[in-house]
A = this chain, B = another copy of it.
Amino acid sequence: MTTVANPDGRLERGEQTRRLILRRAADIASVEGLEGLSIGRLSTELEISKSGVFAHFGSKEELQLATIRAATKIFVDEVVTPAFQQPAGLPRLRALCEGWLTYSEHRTFPGGCFFAAVQPEFSSRPGRVRDAVAEAGARWTALIRDQAEKSDLDDDPAQVAFEVVAFLEAANVQAILHNAPDAYDRARTAVRARLTPRPARREPRPPAAARP
């Protein structure tokens, strides 16, 4: 097992460049995909020798897997953890969605959401990378579903999760591909409506019979 930090808490030399590499790798992959990511390009951009980059991972597949783990950590730190300051259920669910949208909007990764870029790329391929990508997506959906379950929405939580996640991903790709930031507004509108408990759903007045 490799130690990561020196006694005084500083990072070892190798670990430091490893993180440098992975941060850049995640950025590149969010634009070019995990296949488009290449060791040669990493080494050029970071001004590290190709073999130096390669030695950290031993294979391209390991680099891809490590990149997914690094991107996951960034995502969790920026979206998931802050939302856990909100109480479980609806408030946390709303915070997760809003956190996701600003994470995409502010381009934490230059290509928008890392996972939105990488999921379609591997959806039809076999292999360990695909499995890792799928698992990351499943965990995110499960997190949303769990919070939906604890909310007072009398719809199937899995159905709510499906729809909400759909809005988020759609906003990401629309905003980037068409350079249309208003897609984020559309997503916010859609999420707000979907996460509003029934009596007040879709703000405007209920049918006349229901009014006092």
Contact = CB atoms under 8 A, between A and B. Distances in A.
Contact of A167 (B35, B124, B166): B166
Residue of A198, A204, A207 with most chain B CB atoms under a 10 A cut-off:
A207
27 contacts: A31-B125, A33-B33, A35-B35, A35-B36, A111-B124, A117-B124, A119-B120, A120-B173, A122-B177, A124-B176, A130-B177, A137-B178, A154-B204, A155-B202, A158-B186, A162-B170, A162-B183, A162-B186, A165-B170, A166-B166, A166-B167, A166-B170, A166-B190, A169-B173, A198-B207, A201-B202, A209-B209
Interface of A: 30-33, 35-36, 110-112, 116-117, 119-125, 130, 133-134, 137-138, 154-155, 158-159, 162-163, 165-167, 169-171, 173-174, 176-178, 183, 186-187, 189-190, 198-199, 201-202, 204, 206-207, 209-210
